[in-house]
A and B are shown apart, each in its own frame.
Chain A
Amino acid sequence: MADTTTTEAGGAAFEAAPGGNAAAGANVAAATGDSGDRPVKIIGIVCNWCSYAGADTAGVGRFRQPANVRLVRVPCTGRIDPLFALKAFEKGADGVLISGCHPGDCHYSEGNYYARRKFELLERLIHHLGIPKERFKWTWVSASEGQRWQKVVTDFVAGVEKLGPREGRAL
């Protein structure tokens, strides 16, 4: 097959990340896994009503937290297509964190009940893909849990940092 991973080179600049780290995932052929010392990039997908507000609470409370997480705000975890997480990995994210209202607290009553079934399967699919489990997490953080947000983010980032940036992988 002429069409191998090497045709991929240069195709993977992570557009979503401000700061233009064009090197990220740029050369899939060179699957070294060793990419030097750039900070890890994590995409956080959070629902508007709880976790986004929880992150805000953490900010207002001036809880120190790593700055590696770029948040994407969605109306509800029920809006999160598993494709979002896969797409983030495809685009070179080093980790994906998903969070929403605690079960029972969804602003739309049942969005997160549907979502957690999908997230569980997504997590299994991600492991099936060989993406280490430290790189994907889904959880619940309410609007008032600034401290919990701080802990979730700090722990998650630490886990991803231990593995380092992801380089040279297709997904």
Chain B
Amino acid sequence: MSRQDHIREFAAKALTEGRVDYFIGWKQGHNASEVVPAFVKEAAAVDQLVWNELCHHNLVTFLKRNMPDPAGAKIGVCVKGCDSRTLVALLQEELIDRDRLYVVGVPCDGIIDRRRLEKEFADEIVAVSCSDGRVSVATRKGNEKEFAKEEVLLDACTRCRYPNAVYADDVAGPPVPEPDRDGAKPDWSDVAGYESLSDDEKQATLEKVYSACVRCFACIHVCPVCVCWDKCVNRSRQPELVEQKVGTKQKLLFQMIHMFHVAGRCPSCGACDRACPVEIPLYLLHRKMNKEIYDMFGFEPGTKLDEKPVFQLFDVNDRFGD
């Protein structure tokens, strides 16, 4: 039985038994190259649910928004490993109610970076399929190419340490092999390039990178652990902490606030990066924060239900400062 069949079965059962009012998964988008979030309300409709290498959306983000809507709704949701960490981060802070959730963990072999594929073609991609480690891509004008899957994976997947959900009520099929986490520290080599820059180069780089930001707020809307929502300091006009004026200053300040607010809860799932219309490398920047937090506390956000995020705690024996 495929993972997709498992998901459909779990969803149908939960809906039939009234365990959930609706079930959030993935379904095919407007063509065979894209997958979009699906909200399934009836058991008869579960056949639209899919699971494949395009299911990049972190569906936990709908919990942060929809938990109170409608008030008391019971929600089923599919999570990959990285998604489950954002869910655990929300649970650690009691920002969502565990009793109203039904979580299906989907063991994940890695998700395809659609943007990487788009760069390989001059026209629009209409179909992406994957089998036996090969990814076949077709475009509207009939161009076709094949790639090795490892070459077109998301950056978040190539260094993933938690491919199986860290928290789930049911699991869609057998788990995928876990990397040796005890024996190996996280691999931060992806941020080494940035770190090797001089102070001046860093500033110039960030200014250049963030000057493209249009402050559409897609990154913070899609971020599952960015939760203040209607009270966001970035949009507050009274007091006006981040000015409405459009400039690199404001953009950079806005992003640094986001980085700080999700510090200790963001597992660098990369959802923000994928949502950004101007391709700001948000994933890498959040990785850098995660690296520092790991360095400070040996802490990996959202991995254990009985932990609290490190910035909500203290230890009198902390060795920081002079």
Residues of A within 8 A of B (CB): 1, 3-5, 7-8, 11-12, 28, 31, 33, 82-83, 86-87, 90, 103-104, 110, 113-114, 116-122, 124-125, 128-132, 138-140, 169-171
Inter-chain contact A171/B253, CB cutoff 8 Å: yes
Inter-chain contact A130/B211, CB cutoff 8 Å: no
Contacts of B259 on A, CB cut-off 8 Å?
125
Interface flags for B227-242 (1: CB within 8 Å of A; 0: not) read 0000001000000010
Given known contacts A121-B260, A129-B203, A113 and B246 CB-to-CB distance under 8 angstroms: no
Q: Among residues 232 to 282 in chain B, which have CB atoms less than 8 Å away from a CB atom of chain A?
A: 233, 241, 245-249, 251-253, 256-257, 259-260, 263, 278
Given known contacts A8-B249, A170-B248, A117 and B314 CB-to-CB distance under 8 angstroms: yes
Query: A117 touches which one: B233, B241, B318 (CB < 8 A)?
Result: B318
Inter-chain contact A116/B320, CB cutoff 8 Å: yes
Closest A residue to B200 using CB positions:
A130
Interface residues of chain B: helix, strand, loop or mixed (majority): helix
CB distance from A40 to the nearest CB of B (A): 17
Closest A residue to B255 using CB positions:
A171
Inter-chain contact B245/A11, CB cutoff 8 Å: yes
Complex: A111 Cα to B248 Cα, angstroms: 33
Inter-chain contact B320/A119, CB cutoff 8 Å: yes
Q: Which of B34-42, B47-55, B103-111, B287-295 is found at the contact surface with chain A?
A: B287-295
Query: A28 touches which one: B248, B292, B314, B316 (CB < 8 A)?
Result: B248
Contacts of A125 on B, CB cut-off 8 Å?
256, 259-260, 289, 292
Contacts of A103 on B, CB cut-off 8 Å?
316
Given known contacts A117-B311, A171-B252, A7 and B322 CB-to-CB distance under 8 angstroms: no
Q: Between A and B, how many residue pairs show CB distances below 8 Å?
A: 124
Inter-chain contact A114/B314, CB cutoff 8 Å: yes
Residues of B within 8 A of A (CB): 197-207, 210-212, 214, 233, 241, 245-249, 251-253, 256-257, 259-260, 263, 278, 288-289, 292-293, 296, 310-311, 314-316, 318, 320-322
Contacts of B214 on A, CB cut-off 8 Å?
3
Contacts of B201 on A, CB cut-off 8 Å?
130
Query: B314 touches which one: A8, A31, A110 (CB < 8 A)?
Result: A110
Complex: A128 Cα to B259 Cα, angstroms: 12
Complex: A117 Cα to B233 Cα, angstroms: 21
Inter-chain contact B321/A87, CB cutoff 8 Å: no
Complex: A85 Cα to B50 Cα, angstroms: 46
In the complex, besides A4-B248, A83-B233, 12 extra interface pairs with C-beta distance below 8 angstroms are A3-B211, A5-B211, A28-B248, A83-B260, A90-B253, A116-B321, A117-B314, A128-B292, A138-B321, A169-B203, A170-B207, A171-B206
